Amino acid sequence: MGAVRLADTISASSCAECRIHVSTWEPAPGETHLGNIYHHFPHTDTGMRPCPPRFSCGGIGQVQGTPEQIVNSVVDWAAGLGTSTGPGEKMSIPAVWRANDAHGSTVTGGRSDHQGPPQFAWAVDIVDPANRDAPTPKKDKIAAALAQAYGIPPTSGSCSTAVWDCASTTIGHYRIQLIYRTYCGGNHYNHVHFGVRRTDMAEPPIPPQLIYPGYTSPAD
């Protein structure tokens, strides 16, 4: 397979076998190189080396440190793909802090990973600025890459119609959650949700405000 870009990785033949390829991908200007990745649900092509679940793929897949540190690796990776946060800011770690500060509870009133505190839980909503209202091929690939890297298979569908209906897995002391193409927990057709929560900690109080540690006020 020759050099391809993220938007060119699904074909009718590969979808027929539930395969998504990202191989020796050449990034567009401003995009981050993903490295050699082969996503499979569930087919394995013996001619290519698959990126196994829970293995670092282009900076994602590592599960260590705080929930924020795990999410930050995804934020850095997604930023290189030209994505934005839920509120529409260009993807960055400070932008995720601002988005999470404004997020609030889940649609049912439960505690959201977005609410933190970051040593207990953290999350990012990944949006394709090209279409902030519906699924796109870029969001499809991002969800598939995260699913493969962290070992979270879709709950239904396959390839470009795969659904992660509040799907999650537990790795060590971390619950890793992926939501896309569903109304579970709110509208997740318009973005990919990735969240991490510690399972070995008592729930701390929800912080009244989340302020990025590197923030400097204009008065300083």
The answer to whether residue 209 scores a pLDDT higher than 80 is yes
The arithmetic mean of pLDDT across residues 55-83, rounded, is: 84
φ/ψ of 141, rounded to 5, equals: -70, -40
Cis? peptide before 87, omega within 30° of 0: no
Can you state the angle between helices 93-103 and 67-79, rounded to 10 degrees?
120
φ/ψ of 78, rounded to 5, equals: -70, -30
Which one has a higher pLDDT value, 9 or 92? 92
Q: Please tell me the pTM assigned to this model.
A: 0.75
Alpha helices in the chain (DSSP H): 12-16, 67-79, 93-103, 137-150
The angle at the Cα of 125, spanning 121 to 131, to the nearest 5 degrees, equals 175
Q: Secondary structure of the chain: what % helix, strand, coil (to 5)?
A: 25, 20, 55
**Across all residues in the chain, what is the average pLDDT?**
76
The answer to whether residue 99 scores a pLDDT higher than 90 is yes
CA distance 137 to 145: 12
pLDDT (tens digit per residue) in 32-52: 333 333 333 333 333 333 333
User: Contact at 8 Å (CB) between 49 and 28?
Assistant: no
CA distance 19 to 64: 29
For residue 80, the SS3 value is: coil
The answer to whether residue 182 scores a pLDDT higher than 80 is yes
pLDDT of residue 96: 96
Whose CA is closest to 38, among 27, 24, 55, 50? 50
The arithmetic mean of pLDDT across residues 1-20, rounded, is: 31
| 186-189 long-range contacts, CB within 8 A, separation 24+ | 186/106, 186/107, 189/133, 189/134, 189/135
pLDDT (tens digit per residue) in 107-139: 889 999 999 999 999 999 999 999 999 999 999
Q: Would you tell me how many other CB atoms lie within 10 Å of the CB of residue 95?
A: 20
pLDDT of residue 214: 66
pLDDT of residue 13: 28
The arithmetic mean of pLDDT across residues 191-213, rounded, is: 94
